[in-house]
Each structure stands twice: as C-alpha cells, then as structure tokens.
C-alpha cells in the first residue's frame, strides 16, 4: 500500500501543470541526455531559501567559520565525541531517490556509478515544508528504455515512470543523514578535511549536500517514522542562564558495525545541583529503562529537575575521525 501511495503522489504531480500539454511519449520535465543543469548558486531566490533554512547557525563561529561547517564536542558515555549540527527536524523524513540497475527485491540493486550525470534526487530542499536533513531512501531502477535522460524534479520522475524510463520507486526501509546546504560551504572533518559537498538534484538544480555516516550511513527505518535518541542541555539550578547547547550530553553512543544509530535527538533541558562541567555522560543524569525504549525511569541526585522538550535536533556524531 505504501508503494502505491508514493507512486500515486509522485505521478499526480505531473498532472497539476496546465501549461504543459500531454503529448504521448514526450515530457517537458524529463530532460535530454547531456542537458546542462543549473547550479543552485545561479538562482538568487534558491540561494536565499537555502541560506535561511539549511539549519546552520550563520552567526555562531562555533557552527560556521569562513564557510567551514564546524564540529562541536560533547560527552557520550564518558568519552568526548565530535558532532555536526544541522538544525531541527521532525520524525518525518523526506524522500531521496537513488537511481540504478538490478533487482531491488532480490537486494541486487546497484546505484549508477560515480560520475554518471543522473544524480540522486531530493524531493525537498531546505525551506520546503516537507524537507528534512534525514531522508528515507527509495531505489529507482532504470529500464532498457532509459538512454541517459536527466530526472531533476519529482515531476520529471513521475513522467519518467509514465514513459517507462524507470520503474516506480521502491522504499528500502532505510534512512540516511544527507543535509542539503547553501552553496559554497565545506565540512570540517578533522585531520583530512575540510571536505567538499556531494551533489544532488533538487528543484531542477544541482544542490550541495553532505553524505554523513560513512559505511554506516544507511540506518533502518522500517516503520516510516524516524527513531530518536535524547540529548541533554545543562545549567546549574538557580543560575538563571540559558541551557548550554554548546556542550550536549548524548544518550547516543558511537555505534559499532551492525548497531543502529539515529542522529535525531530530542532535547532535554536539565537543571543540576552540581557544576555542569562535572557531568561526563548520560548515566550521570538518568537511570533509563532497558534498551528497548531507553526512556527515563528516574534521575540521579545531581539532577534537580528536567524537561523533555518538543524540540528535536539533527546532531550527527562523527563516527570516524577524518571522515564525514
């Protein structure tokens, strides 16, 4: 049912434009092979939209300095971990379509090779209501009729399905953290960095994105809603100051291979009876129920009070130093 709904939603998009005539065997949205696709940097309105909504704190030198997205540092189970912040998000991911060949059902799908002009396609970009830095992944198999045409919008994808150039998108039950950002930024990764963004199609343009997580980039998302962890922002009780977002205390830990991980972190504001700098791990704050849920069962004596907020932030742990 989910596949039918997705296909219907994508296909319907091409039927809402009265300016494009229905000509059998042709599409104004599917572009001929070799077409030059404009970069987002060439569109001032799109640049403004991305800059305003990509989740990067422009005025904070700890987040962005000289067009380099900076890493933060915070404790996770007693160890200092590095992370990147890409703003807020909900549990609803936005689609990312990956084009390739093979049999998705048999797990024999192969993405089109690097250098192929058909890039991954983002259904939404920052500033769109449905955008999230976290994307649910759909595999799209190209058919023998496909001859290098370029599919740069979801409307074009719907037309390509109608024309038999690609098969309907298939959800693979995974999500990835691939935030789209304004043009001109690079990512601090430590000793081997900074690194340039990868390129996606979005809104008919080439947009910049960072594919995060390395070999563990694809994480399970079988139910459609993203899993969450928690992150604690601290302050000393009675201090009257803000909760310190620059030193988050992560419930999440660096995952070993095969262990699931989510960067989507629900913010918990915590007032302490002790100096916040003495807190080195989540277990210094909370006693949690078994790992099935990980919910807070009770607090330690260092916690005066806490509030689980309605804010969820995309705080991606750097899984390997020197890699995005």
The number of domains in the chain is: 2
pLDDT for the residue 25: 63
Instruction: State the CB neighbour count (10 A cutoff) for residue 266.
Output: 17
Residues 160 and 233 in one domain: no
Token couple for 266: 């629900």
Question: Residue 54 to residues 64, 69, 238, 250, 290: CA-CA distances in angstroms?
Answer: 12, 12, 34, 23, 35
Shared domain for 215 and 236, answered yes or no, is no
Domain limit, last residue, from 176, 195, 220: 220
* pLDDT tens digits, one per residue of 166-188: 999 999 999 999 999 999 999 99
pLDDT tens sequence across 119-168: 999 999 999 999 999 999 999 999 999 999 999 999 999 999 999 999 99
In this structure, are 128 and 271 located in the same domain?
A: no
Are both 126 and 216 inside the same structural domain?
yes
Per-residue confidence band for 291, with pLDDT thresholds at 50, 70 and 90: low
Q: Is residue 44 part of a domain?
A: no
What is the mean predicted confidence (pLDDT) over 192-207?
Answer: 96
Q: What six digits make up the tokens of 34?
A: 């070799």
- For residue 209, the surrounding DSSP H or E stretch is strand 205-209
- pLDDT beyond 90 at 272: yes
181 and 235 both lie in a single domain? no
Q: pTM for this structure?
A: 0.89
104 and 191 assigned to the same domain: yes
Phi-psi group of 108: left, alpha or beta (phi > 0 → left; psi -120 to 50 → alpha; rest → beta): alpha
Question: pLDDT for 295-313, tens place per residue?
Answer: 999 999 999 999 999 999 9
Does the residue 151 lie in any domain? yes
Same-domain check for residues 172 and 303:
no
Looking at 165, 188, 220, the residue that finishes a domain is 220
d(CA 85, CA 68): 13
How far, in whole angstroms, is CA 92 from its chain's centroid? 11
Same-domain pairing of 252 and 197: no
Inform me whether the pLDDT recorded for 22 exceeds 80. no
Give 168's contacts (C-beta < 8 A, 6+ positions apart).
3, 6, 7, 161
The Cα-based distances of 132 to 59, 92, 312 in angstroms read: 22, 8, 12
Residue range 41-64, pLDDT digits in tens: 999 999 999 999 999 987 788 899
Sign, Cα dihedral of 51, 53, 54, 55: positive
């Amino acid at each position: 049912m989910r596949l039918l709904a997705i296909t219907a939603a994508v296909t319907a998009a091409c039927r809402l434009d009265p300016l494009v005539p229905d000509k059998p065997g042709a599409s104004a949205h599917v572009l001929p092979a070799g077409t030059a696709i404009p970069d987002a940097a060439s569109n001032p309105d799109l640049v403004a939209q991305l800059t305003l909504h990509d989740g990067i704190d422009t005025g904070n030198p700890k987040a962005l300095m000289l067009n380099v997205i900076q890493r933060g540092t915070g404790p996770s189970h007693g160890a200092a971990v590095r992370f990147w912040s890409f703003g807020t998000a909900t549990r609803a991911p936005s689609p990312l379509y990956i084009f390739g060949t093979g049999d998705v059902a048999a797990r024999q799908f192969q993405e089109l090779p690097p250098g192929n002009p058909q890039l991954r396609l983002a259904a939404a970009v920052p500033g769109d209501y449905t955008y999230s830095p976290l994307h649910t992944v759909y595999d799209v198999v190209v058919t023998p009729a496909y001859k290098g045409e370029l599919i740069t919008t979801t409307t074009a994808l719907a037309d390509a399905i109608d024309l038999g150039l690609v098969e309907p998108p298939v959800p693979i039950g995974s999500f990835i953290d691939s935030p789209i950002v304004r043009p001109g930024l690079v990512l601090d990764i430590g000793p081997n960095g900074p690194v340039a963004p990868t390129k996606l199609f979005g809104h008919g343009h080439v947009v910049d994105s960072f594919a995060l997580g390395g070999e563990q980039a694809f994480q399970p998302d079988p139910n459609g809603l993203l899993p969450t962890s928690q992150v604690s922002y601290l302050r000393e009780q009675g201090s009257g100051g803000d909760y310190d977002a620059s030193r988050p205390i992560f419930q999440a830990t660096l995952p070993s291979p095969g262990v699931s991980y989510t960067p989507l972190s629900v913010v918990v504001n915590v007032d302490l009876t002790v100096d916040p700098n003495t807190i080195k791990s989540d277990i210094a704050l909370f006693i949690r129920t078994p790992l099935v849920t990980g919910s807070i069962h009770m607090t330690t004596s260092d916690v005066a009070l806490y509030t689980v907020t309605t804010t969820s932030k995309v705080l991606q742990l750097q899984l390997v130093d020197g890699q995005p």
